[in-house]
Structure 1
Amino acid sequence: MRISEAGADDVAGLARLLWLNGRDEEPDQQALDAFTAELSEWWGARDGSHVAYVARLDGPELVGMAWVALVPRVPRPGATNRLSADIQSVFVLPERRGHGIGAALVQAAADHAVRLGSMHVTVHSGRRAVPVYERLGFESSRQLLQRYPE
C-alpha cells in the first residue's frame, strides 16, 4: 500500500471515489464526468485549504482517500498563525476495507495538519467508524459542540 498526498493528476480518481461514496446519499447525483470537472474547479479554488491523501495498492488506481480541511483561526498576541483542521470524506473501496487503508489515510492527513501547526484535528464520524478514530488517538470532547439547522 502506498499513501501519498494527492495532486492534480489524481482528480479523476478522487472524483470517482467521492462519486461512489455519495451514491447512497445522493440518488440523483450527476454524471461522473461532470462531477470530475466540478471537483477540479472546486479544489483549484481552495488554494491549499483542502488537502487529499490517497491510497494505491499495486497499480495507479486509487483505492481510498482522506481529506483534511485546514482552517485559519483568529490570531492572538504572540500566535498569529493559528490553525485548525478537520478530517473529511474518508472512503475506502468496500472490497479493500479491513486492511488498515483507512487508518493509514487518516493518520497521514492528521500528521499533515499537525506538521503545519494545527492546534487540533477534528472529525465528524459515522458510528461504525468511531472505534477506528479512537484507535488513532481521537477522543470525545466536552468543549466541541455542534448546532444543527432548525
Structure 2
Amino acid sequence: MRISQAQADDVAVLARLLWLDTHKEEPTQQSVDAFAAELAEWWAPHQHSHLAFVARLLPPEIVGMAWVALVPRVARPGATGRLSADIQSVFVMPEQRGRGIGSALVEAASQHAEHLGSLRVTVHSGRRAVPVYQRLGFESSRQLLQRPPG
C-alpha cells in the first residue's frame, strides 16, 4: 500500500469514493460521472485548501481517501500564517477495511497539515470511528463547541 497526495487526474476515482460513501445517506439521481465533473470544477479553486490523500494498492488502484481542509486563522501579532485543519471524508472500500488503510490515510493527512503549520487538527467522527481516532491521538475537547443550524 502507498499513501500519497491525490492529483487532478485522480478526481474521477475520488468522486467514485465520495459517491459510494454518501449515496446511501443522501440518495441522488446524479451519476458518478456527472458528480466527477462537478467535483473537478469544485476542486480547481479549492485544491490548495482541501487536500486529498489516497491509498493505492498494486496495481495502482485507489482503495481509500482522506481529505484535510486547511482553514486560515485570524492573524495575530507575530503570527500571520496561523492555520487549523479538519479531517474530512475518510473512506476505505469495504473489502479493504480492517487493514489499517484508514488510519494510514488520517495519519498522512494530519502530518501534512502539521507540517504546513496547522495549530490543531480536528475531526467530526461518527460514533463507530471514535476509537480509531483516539488510537491516532485525537482527544475529545470540552472547548470545541458547535452550534446546530436554526
TM-score range, shorter chain: over 0.9
Matched, 1:148 2:125: no
Secondary structure of the structure 2 residue equivalent to 1:88? strand
Matches within 5 A, 1:98-137: 98-137=98-137
Corresponding residue number in structure 2 for 1:91: 91
TM-score under structure 1 length normalisation? 0.98
Matches within 5 A, 1:1-150: 1-150=1-150
Distance of aligned partners of 1:128 and 1:75 in 2 relative to their CA distance in 1, 3 Å threshold:
same
What amino acid does structure 2 have at the position aligned with 1:108? A
Structure 1 vs Structure 2 CA RMSD = 0.8
TM-score under structure 2 length normalisation? 0.98
List 4+ stretches of structure 1 deviating above 4 A: none
Work out the CA distance in 2 between the residues paired with 1:90 and 1:57. 17
The Cα of 1:60 is off from its aligned counterpart by 2.2
Deviations along 1:4-34, whole A, 9 cap, x unmatched? 0000111111001001001111112411111
Q: Which runs of 5+ in 1 are unaligned?
A: none
* Contact persistence 1:23–1:29 (CA under 8 A): no
Work out the CA distance in 2 between the residues paired with 1:108 and 1:29. 33
Aligned length: 150
